[in-house]
Amino acid sequence: MIEAASTRRPFVAEPMLTVALSKGRILTETLPLLAAAGIVPDEDPAVSRRLILGTSSPGVRLLIVGPTDVPAYVLHGGADVGVTGKDVLAEQEQAILYEPLDLGIGRCRLMLAGREGLEPSRAQPRVATKYVASTRAFFAARGQQVDVIKLYGSMELAPLVGLADWIVDLVDTGNTLRANGLAPLETVMEVSARLVVNPASWKTKHAAVRRLVADLAAAVERQGARA
Ligand code: PRT
Ligand code: MG
């Protein structure tokens, strides 16, 4: 069989690439993209309790971490490359990770929402959210003064008990908002999962990182064409 030139790869010793994956909903969509790039975990990460997994590609291992911890692993060199949501990345103080690829998965919107048909009761509205930086930036751009209250989950509850007038939270189908008598008001940010790269790894492991980015980009394109 004649191999296409683009798939022929020279046998050279390559540095190990460590890839930090977001567990949870993003993971399910990440695995098919990795598989299309020739990277299949030795064990099913959805079932395995191991947090470091080898793969079918000898040069690549996977870390299974929470989405909000992926930037720290990649920034501080625990991983060379990572996958996490734009919502998570937008909350980082320093944007020093390279973000070479939109994976087109984990799609949703960061939205402002409030109680159906109810205006804010306060002159300076209160906004409850896990996404403090994005929320501040959104209202600053509108020139509107608000009080931002940081919550870590179940944001939908805050307007129902008067803790806040509005929330800023992720919305996919809108079912969670509707089930709690809330309505979407405005989009703060379109969200999807991104590939991020440690700047030092980008230089020292350039060939391996570039190949991973290229293989994943091709997989994203094929998936897009199928959708
Ligand atoms: O660390 P953290 O607790 O945030 O994450 P987790 O371990 O719970 O991870 P997980 O699996 O919830 O994934 C979080 C990441 O998935 C986010 O950072 C986004 O990038 C991405 N994502 C995509 C979403 C959604 N879609 C989504 N719909 N994360 C959360 N949701 C929530 C939403 O907030 C709502 O409460 O899902 C609920 C259902 O949404 P509706 O509109 O379909 O009802
Ligand atoms: Mg969650």
What are the tens digits of pLDDT across the range 43-61?
A: 999 899 999 999 999 999 9
Closest atom of ligand 1 to 85 CA is 20
Decide if pLDDT at 12 tops 60: no
Tell me how far the alpha carbon of residue 85 lies from the centroid of ligand 1, in angstroms. 9
Distance of CA 70 to the CA centre of its chain: 9
Q: Interhelix angle for 25-36 vs 206-226, to 10°? A: 100
CATH class of this structure's domain 3-106+192-226: alpha beta
What does the pLDDT look like over 180-203, one tens digit per residue?
Answer: 999 999 999 999 999 999 999 999
**pLDDT the model gives residue 227:** 73
**Predicted local distance difference test score (pLDDT) of residue 4:** 53
b/e burial code for range 107-131 (CB count within 10 A of at least 16 → b): ebbbbbbbbeeeebeeeebbbbbbb
Q: What is the pLDDT of residue 83?
A: 98
Nearest to 86 by CA among 222, 167, 189, 225: 189
Residue 95: its pLDDT value, please?
75
Q: Quick one: pLDDT at residue 6?
A: 53
132-162 per-position pLDDT tens digit: 999 999 999 999 999 999 999 999 999 999 9
Sheet with 126-129, side-by-side order of all strands:
147-150, 126-129, 166-171, 108-115, 182-191
Equal CATH topology for 3-106+192-226 and 108-188? yes
Q: Count how many residues are written for the chain.
A: 227
Q: What's the pLDDT score for residue 93?
A: 85
Task: Name the residue with tokens 């994005």.
Answer: 134
Pocket test for ligand 1, best of 108, 175, 194 (most atoms within 8 A of CB): 108
Measured CA to CA in angstroms, residue 110 lies from 22, 90, 93, 134, 151 at distances of 18, 11, 18, 9, 15
- Which of 21, 25, 64, 157, when mutated, tests ligand 1's pocket best, judged by the most ligand atoms within 8 Å of its CB? 25
> Ligand 1 — pocket residues by CB below 6 A?
24-26, 66-68, 85, 87-88, 106, 108, 169-176, 191
Distance between Cα 211 and ligand 1 center (Å): 29
Would you list the domain boundaries of the chain? 3-106+192-226, 108-188
pTM for the model stands at: 0.92
Residue nearest (by alpha carbon) to ligand 1 atom 5: 67
Quote the mean pLDDT of the chain. Answer: 94
pLDDT higher for 34 or 6?
34
pLDDT confidence bin for 2, thresholds 50/70/90:
low
CATH classification code of 108-188: 3.40.190.10
In sequence order, the 6+-apart residues with CB closer than 8 A to the CB of 167 are 112, 113, 114, 127, 128, 129, 155, 156, 158, 159, 182
Residue to substitute in 172, 177, 188, 194 for testing ligand 1 pocket (most ligand atoms within 8 angstroms of CB):
172
Give me the mean pLDDT over the 61-79 stretch: 97
